[in-house]
Chains A and B, each alone.
Chain A
Amino acid sequence: MAIAVSQAGPVAAPKRHSQFYLGWKRFSKNYFAVAGLVWVAIFFIVGIIGPWIAPYSYKDADFLAMHTGPSWKHLFGTDTVGYDVFSQILFSIRYALEIALGATCVSFVIGVILGLWAGLAGGIADVIIMRGVDFMFALPSFFFALILVVLLGKGLGPMMLAIGVPGWAGYARLIRSLVLSMRNGEMVEAARALGASQSHIAFKYMFPNVVGSMVVSLAFGIPYDLTAQAGLSIVGMGLNPPMPSFGNMLAAAGENILGFPWLLYFPAGIFAITLLSFLFVADGLQEAFSPKGGM
């Protein structure tokens, strides 16, 4: 008895895409996020090459051209001491990025270590670390940063630490919750039952599942650290002048706004657009890669 066999040939399996590809697809449909990413990319490039394309050094005060408006010689004008605002902004971008990235790294590293420790060790270590997290969340970390600046000083490195060290709690809590959900998850259990090695489980199963939330939390961390850094300048505890920073420029512009409003246009505009772009990117990443929400 002949059995009718389908002659249609192999069924084309739906094309499989990587998690990253699917996320990127979702991300690229979000125009705000893409626009933000473009600006962030420009910001990074300027941060890297800024000091070379700056027409003046941030330390070169042109005393003959104090508080002049924007012109070809001084693209964004000069401030009350005669510093070229355009060059100041270029250097500020560099320092702002260095501090924000450094601080975020510091928070992240401390948070990952403590979060892993709390999640994996459990017991008394878990209790103590989570008490610490509660303690850090009880007060705005900006206050801790303020106090740390007193101890550490106002240089680049101290700034990174002062902003970064108080920021660990959010990352620690996130990592701990990820560890706990992973450790006892069915997926890991299944992989173990199939005889997968520990490192195989860690890299092939655990890591791809946590990387999304971690990237999203980092993306939200950078604009927060940029804000904190400028906020420190507003209360006079920011980067030591004459090193330029957005916060210093904003604070100075606020004081001299009646006579020299152009001191505000470019620093405030660029800073606001940058923060907005970072937030759009972070929001887009969250929707694309971690729909359940990161931090």
Chain B
Amino acid sequence: MFFLRFLAKRIVAIIITLAAVIAISYIMMYASPGGFMSTTQIATALAPLAAQDPVAYQKVMEQFQQRYGLNLPLWHQVLLYIWHSFTFNFGNSMENPSITIMSQLKSALPISVILAFASVVVSVVVGIPMGIIAALKRNTWIDYTVTTLSMFGQAIPSFVLAVIFVLIFGVVWQNVLPVTGWGTFSEAILPVISLAAGNIGVVARYMRGSLIETMRQDFIRTAKSKGVKYWPLVFKHGVKNSLTALITVIGPQFAFTVVGTVWVENIFAIPGLGKVINTAFTNFDFPLAITAVFILGATIMVTNLVVDLIYAWVDPRVKLQ
């Protein structure tokens, strides 16, 4: 019962947030200079007609406004747009009016999602052992190397790493790994690594701190005095207890990675949502762009909800609120 109430509350919060994002985006599209939403553009295009045949001009204008609902008051347009977005009725894109936005995004969304999830998984798989080693070998050169490498990963954005990879594998070592495209496993390696680098750093640093903190706790001392051997002590008592806290960083990391996919897809020419966002924004195809952002945002928030649920399930001390 309590669980259901929590779930309902969070889902309502997600819906409100998404609705607000759409409303803000729509009003901005509406207000942006030279945007498609402003009728000025079509008015200039039809200026000769207006001079020749004012009646026909009036008709075309009305039809245009009817078509896009521009004759309605703004609040009505916003509500309509929100409703259509939530019912997955995104309409057609403006650059290619014959293709629906839905069909353009259908192929792009899985690519971005796979890319983001893969890099989060890689970062967890690589980052946790790094963090454990650094924590156990605290204040040795191993620790310093891991900590410094994590700083590098965190500081250098994925797109810089991506272009450096393109340089290394496209110019220096050609034909080792493909630097463009999407579809095969080898084509996914470089994008996933460039996205994961920052997360590996975060996970390793967090794991290190968390394990050091856990190993100071009383129950570790008790276990030690009971004669638990070193490795069981580290893994069964230490790591297991510090892993739960690590779940909390995965939510923000996923959001961070999704932004990264938008960049990395453009550099590796991967036909995901990031590529769609790029072409849509540069072509002033705002409905397509806003929808892509909407879908990425929804993915992030749903993932965060799932992460919170997992956290509460793993660690019963955590209260859902």
Contact = CB atoms under 8 A, between A and B. Distances in A.
B255 to A, nearest CB: 5
A271 B160 CA distance: 8
B46 interface: no
A231 B293 contact: no
A275 B256 CA distance: 17
A257 B35 contact: no
Contact of B170 (A231, A236, A257): A257
B290 A250 contact: no
Contacts of A250: 159-160, 163
Contact of B156 (A151, A231, A264, A275): A275
Nearest to A231: B263
A142 B296 CA distance: 12
Given A140-B256, A146-B277, A279 B21 contact: no
Contacts of B33: 153
Interface string A257-288: 11001001000100110011011100100000
Interface string A194-230: 0000000000000000000000000000010001001
Contacts, number: 126
SS class, residues of chain B in contact with chain A: helix
Contacts of A275: 155-157, 160
Nearest to A141: B259
Given A268-B163, A275-B157, A150 B29 contact: yes
Instruction: Report, nearest first, the 10 A-B pairs whose CB atoms are least far apart.
Output: A236-B282, A279-B155, A276-B155, A151-B28, A235-B278, A234-B263, A140-B259, A254-B163, A142-B259, A138-B17
21 contacts: A139-B297, A139-B300, A139-B301, A140-B258, A142-B259, A143-B297, A146-B293, A148-B28, A150-B35, A230-B159, A231-B262, A231-B263, A235-B274, A250-B163, A257-B167, A271-B160, A275-B157, A275-B160, A276-B156, A278-B155, A279-B155
Interface of B: 13-14, 17, 20-21, 24-25, 28-29, 31-33, 35, 148, 151-152, 154-157, 159-160, 162-164, 166-167, 170-171, 255-256, 258-259, 262-263, 266-267, 274, 277-278, 281-282, 286, 289-290, 293, 296-297, 300-301, 304
